[in-house]
Chains A and B, each alone.
Chain A
Amino acid sequence: MFEDLGEKLNRSFKGLLGRGKLSEKNIESGLREIRRSLLEADVHYKVAKDFIQVVKERSVGQEVLGNLRPGQQVVRIVHEELVRLMGSAFTDISRSRSAPTVILLVGLQGSGKTTFAAKLARRFQKSGQQPLLVAGDTARPAAVEQLKILGSEIDVRVFEKGSGADPVEVAAEGVREARRLNFPVVIVDSRGRLHVDGELMEELRKTRDAIAPQETLLVVDGMSGQDAARVARSFADDLGIDGVVLTKLDGDARGGAALSVRAVSGKPIKFVSVGEKVDQLEPFHPDRMASRILGMGDVLTLAEKAQEVFDRKQTEKMERKIREASFTLEDFRDQLRQVKKLGSLDDLAQMIPGMGRVKGLEAEEGRLTAIEAMINSMTPEERRIPRIIDGSRRKRISRGSGTQVKDVNRLLKEFEQVQKLMKTMRKRGPFRMPMSLG
């Protein structure tokens, strides 16, 4: 696990605490740490160089604030500058005044264009605008097939003329079809190449001219290295793009490519695509990306996810129950189910600073499943009044849930402790449940 940049900076600023100003001299080793951190996150070295200069200019001459450690102070400056550079807020897709809004997706092979096409379609569909997908990648074997399968999964129509068809014609006909059938949005997939070359750009320019897209989005692999800058520049210069999409950010890549791409193309990053499920698409948040690049985790996304999943009324009900100490095993099970909706514990750990590489979570995950199975094997009465669960009931529950009697014992014991804890908390007056983020 890599060390938090803030800690590193605190160390290199040791001795600076509580006295003096940040000077060019005493900040030097700290700047080296920042540069290293950016390079390890795959920020292009030239972009990193320029960026360090900006941070240096802003930092030199600053008083070391009393209540802030100098490392933290500089990290704050770095973070702010990263956010500023990546654009301050989410920029949505711009819409055409006359339907349909035409969106063209471009990018290298394997960047995740086809999967993103389906995710974007799903997003429009959820907001009540049924889109048309156009299978413009007629080169990769089975790319058309892949889009058709994804389209049928989400119930979105896919316009296609098979593999090997002329991509420019497919795109043009697809957009005509969308217009004829009054689709509000049409999303055109395109062919990727291994790298940027004249032939690909020519084909994409022809496609662009044929369909006049409102938005041309460049899809970039979030794990890209130094070359991402060059790729983004080529697409921006030779074709013209309106925005960028970063994919595959559900791994542990720190996504420094985001900064490079933004810096060299000047275009906003619009979406972050995580995972293969069609619902996994998030608007781009520069502040979160900045934290990620600096290795500071993504607590905000976690909070947002939790808000989506935990319905407010239910949370209030739970709070009341806990206050009144009438929290039953049934309620406990509901809570477990909601936590599960957030995603796997591994995914969640990725978002919490310092938890990125914690092991053994899968064992915990298995235990959560076992707990749910045990509660499911109880009668409603047992769930309400656990103390009636005697030896033979315990045996029945363990058999029913595929666990052992000692697991059931452990669950009941733990639940008893939780209830005791709730009673003591009740005496202390109002409080908020840790799970409640509303």
Chain B
Amino acid sequence: MAFSITRLRKGLGKARRGFWGRIRRAALASGLDAESREALEEILIEADVGVAATQRILDRLEKADAVGEDAIHNALRDSLLEVLGRAREEPEIPGGRPRVILLVGVNGVGKTTTLAKLAARYKAEGMRVMMAAADTFRAAAAEQLEVWAERVGVDLVRQRSGADPAAVAYDALESARARGVDVLLVDTAGRLHTKHNLMEELKKIRRVLDKCEPGTPDEVLLILDATTGQNALSQARLFKEAVEPTGLVIAKLDGTAKAGIVLAIREELGLDVRFVGLGEGVGDLERFAPEAFVDALLS
């Protein structure tokens, strides 16, 4: 499944029009003056980039000393790309065992939907996929996953509601090994990052997986809601402390929200975006490509 820039552009359509239209007005041929700096600042703030990251980006832009629309465009593009870093490859998995991916995040960000989309994606690549319903807390979470498992056509391991999530993960990994599964996707209950006990529970899931199969989970993906504001930074910080996510997924990016907070998270915590969710369909998940992302934002 190739990255489709047209689709991403379509998703970001509304964002793009507002963005560059205003930069044009703001960045006059003479270069970056106080007024155009303020206009740029408002654009970045409105995209949820946050005050501190916006200041840093604009400071760098000022140093670039660009004059004229094209030069400013390129300088800003470079500056944003520099923050985002290069796209990362998926880690290699030693053969003979399932790749284990753990999905974490706060409530309502779209974890379960993202999991279904990842399942569809790996299945389309010809892999044998299994889901584990380790969200044993939210009412009907396992049922929701069951609907998706049927729709996508993959196996699901679940237990009764209220069961120990770490035990579900353990069982799922054992059964994934026994059945020769290539990718095991583990759903977890949404939790606010400030709830210490729930974060401990996540750590336990991580520990138990590692015990069952050293080296797993291979990936821990933190799902962020594209409409979340500055709090996403705090979420990323605390999830990082607890379970060391290997990457981010921005869900719901096809709204009007621009998820600029990702820039601040990349800058402060070094976490890369791995995927972006662009729609409600099961095929609407793209591998994150920083250049396409920035170009779609600035074109």
A and B held together in a complex: yes
Cβ-defined contact, B231 with A42, below 8 A: yes
Cβ-defined contact, B143 with A251, below 8 A: no
Which residues 112-152 in B have Cβ within 8 Å of A in the complex? 137-141, 143-144, 146-148
Q: Would A110 and B252 be within 8 Å (CB), given that A145-B140, A346-B194, A361-B196 are in contact? A: yes
Decide yes or no whether B108 CB sits under 8 A from chain A.
yes
Decide yes or no whether B254 CB sits under 8 A from chain A.
yes
User: Which residue, of B46, B227, B256, has the highest number of chain A Cβ atoms within 10 A?
Assistant: B227
Q: A161 to chain B: closest CB distance in Å?
A: 16
Cβ-defined contact, B252 with A149, below 8 A: no
Cβ-defined contact, B231 with A251, below 8 A: yes
Chain B residues closer than 8 Å to A263, beta-carbon distance? none
Chain A residues closer than 8 Å to B148, beta-carbon distance? 141
Chain B residues closer than 8 Å to A193, beta-carbon distance? 280
Decide yes or no whether B85 CB sits under 8 A from chain A.
no
Decide yes or no whether B279 CB sits under 8 A from chain A.
yes
Cβ-defined contact, A252 with B144, below 8 A: no
Q: For B255, give the chain A residue with the smallest CB separation.
A: A195
Cβ-defined contact, B194 with A45, below 8 A: no
Cβ-defined contact, A194 with B256, below 8 A: no
Q: Would A194 and B42 be within 8 Å (CB), given that A109-B110, A109-B252, A142-B143 are in contact? A: no
Which residues 124-147 in A have Cβ within 8 Å of B in the complex? 140-143, 145-146
Cβ-defined contact, B194 with A226, below 8 A: no
Q: A143 to chain B: closest CB distance in Å?
A: 8
Q: For B252, give the chain A residue with the smallest CB separation.
A: A194
Cβ-defined contact, A149 with B139, below 8 A: yes
Q: For B278, give the chain A residue with the smallest CB separation.
A: A194
Chain A residues closer than 8 Å to B147, beta-carbon distance? 141-142, 163
Q: Would A112 and B107 be within 8 Å (CB), given that A39-B51, A224-B227, A225-B228 are in contact? A: yes
Cβ-defined contact, A39 with B256, below 8 A: no
Q: Would A250 and B192 be within 8 Å (CB), given that A141-B147, A226-B48 are in contact? A: yes
Cβ-defined contact, A224 with B139, below 8 A: no
Q: A31 to chain B: closest CB distance in Å?
A: 14
User: Which residue, of B109, B110, B229, B279, has the highest number of chain A Cβ atoms within 10 A?
Assistant: B229
Q: Which of B51, B232, B256, B279 contacts A230 (CB 8 A)?
A: B256
Q: A248 vs B258: C-alpha distance in the bound complex, in angstroms?
A: 21
Decide yes or no whether A378 CB sits under 8 A from chain B.
no
Which residues 203-236 in B have Cβ within 8 Å of A in the complex? 225, 227-232, 234
Decide yes or no whether A155 CB sits under 8 A from chain B.
no
Q: A100 to chain B: closest CB distance in Å?
A: 25
Q: B177 to chain A: closest CB distance in Å?
A: 28
Q: B126 to chain A: closest CB distance in Å?
A: 25
Chain A residues closer than 8 Å to B255, beta-carbon distance? 108, 194-196, 227
Cβ-defined contact, A251 with B257, below 8 A: no
Decide yes or no whether B106 CB sits under 8 A from chain A.
yes
Q: Would A252 and B227 be within 8 Å (CB), given that A141-B147, A227-B255, A362-B197 are in contact? A: no
Q: Which of B144, B232, B257, B279 contacts A140 (CB 8 A)?
A: B144
Chain A residues closer than 8 Å to B140, beta-carbon distance? 142-143, 145-146, 148-149
Q: Would A252 and B194 be within 8 Å (CB), given that A108-B227, A224-B229 are in contact? A: yes
Chain A residues closer than 8 Å to B280, beta-carbon distance? 193-194
Which residues 349-398 in A have Cβ within 8 Å of B in the complex? 350, 361-362
Q: A43 vs B87: C-alpha distance in the bound complex, in angstroms?
A: 32
Which residues 264-295 in B have Cβ within 8 Å of A in the complex? 279-280
Q: Which of A45, A252, A362 contacts B231 (CB 8 A)?
A: A252
Decide yes or no whether A228 CB sits under 8 A from chain B.
yes
Cβ-defined contact, B230 with A42, below 8 A: yes
Q: For B148, give the chain A residue with the smallest CB separation.
A: A141
Cβ-defined contact, A141 with B194, below 8 A: no
Chain B residues closer than 8 Å to A248, beta-carbon distance? 106-108, 192
Chain B residues closer than 8 Å to A45, beta-carbon distance? 42, 45-46
Decide yes or no whether A55 CB sits under 8 A from chain B.
no
Q: Would A225 and B144 be within 8 Å (CB), given that A230-B256, A248-B107 are in contact? A: no
Q: Top 5 closest A-B pairs, CB basis?
A: A225-B229, A195-B255, A110-B108, A42-B229, A142-B144
Interface of A with B (CB < 8 Å)?
36, 39-42, 44-45, 108-112, 140-143, 145-146, 148-150, 153, 163, 193-196, 221, 223-228, 230-231, 248, 250-254, 256-257, 276, 344, 346, 350, 361-362
Interface of B with A (CB < 8 Å)?
42, 45-48, 50-51, 106-110, 137-141, 143-144, 146-148, 192-197, 200, 225, 227-232, 234, 252, 254-258, 261, 279-280
11 interchain pairs (CB within 8 A)? Answer: A45-B45, A112-B108, A142-B146, A194-B254, A221-B225, A225-B257, A250-B192, A251-B193, A253-B230, A344-B195, A361-B196
